[in-house]
Amino acid sequence: MFAEGKLIVEIEGKKTAQVNGLSVIELGDFSFGKPGWITAASYIGEKGIVNIEREVELSGPIHSKGVMILSGYVGHKYGKDTPLALSSSIAFEQSYGEVEGDSASAAELIAVLSSILEIPVR
């Protein structure tokens, strides 16, 4: 998929609001990893964290819970003294299957914090 240009993952340098992730694909008795990008876009607004996978019904319950915890953390960290006027959308790029698990929301937290603080991630 890399050679054919169907799957794009950058493995050198640093990017702001983008991290690489590894999705586990299970086919019968076999499991393998598929790399992909996790991106975040943050801007002034009042929607909070928008989990695109959940919006299109591709987020499993553990992942959805993780994103809710992520939203609580961001609100607690940056909205303690003044109301938080932030919108941030997060997505697994090039992914069309269900997203599940805590590691997914941990990677999304890194992308969101990178987006908010404009700090590149290796």
What are the residue ranges spanned by the domains of the chain? Answer: 18-117
- Count CA atoms within 13 Å of residue 35 on its CB side: 11
> Does the pLDDT value for residue 19 go beyond 90?
yes
Query: Any idea which fold 18-117 has?
Result: Ribosomal Protein S5; domain 2 (3.30.230)
Of 120 and 34, which is predicted with more confidence? Answer: 120
Sequence-separated contacts (24+) of 70-75 with Cβ below 8 Å: 70/105, 70/108, 70/109, 70/112, 73/109, 74/48, 74/49, 74/112, 74/113, 74/116, 75/48
> Does the pLDDT value for residue 2 go beyond 80?
no
Q: What is the pLDDT of residue 96?
A: 80
**Token match 């086919």: residue?**
27
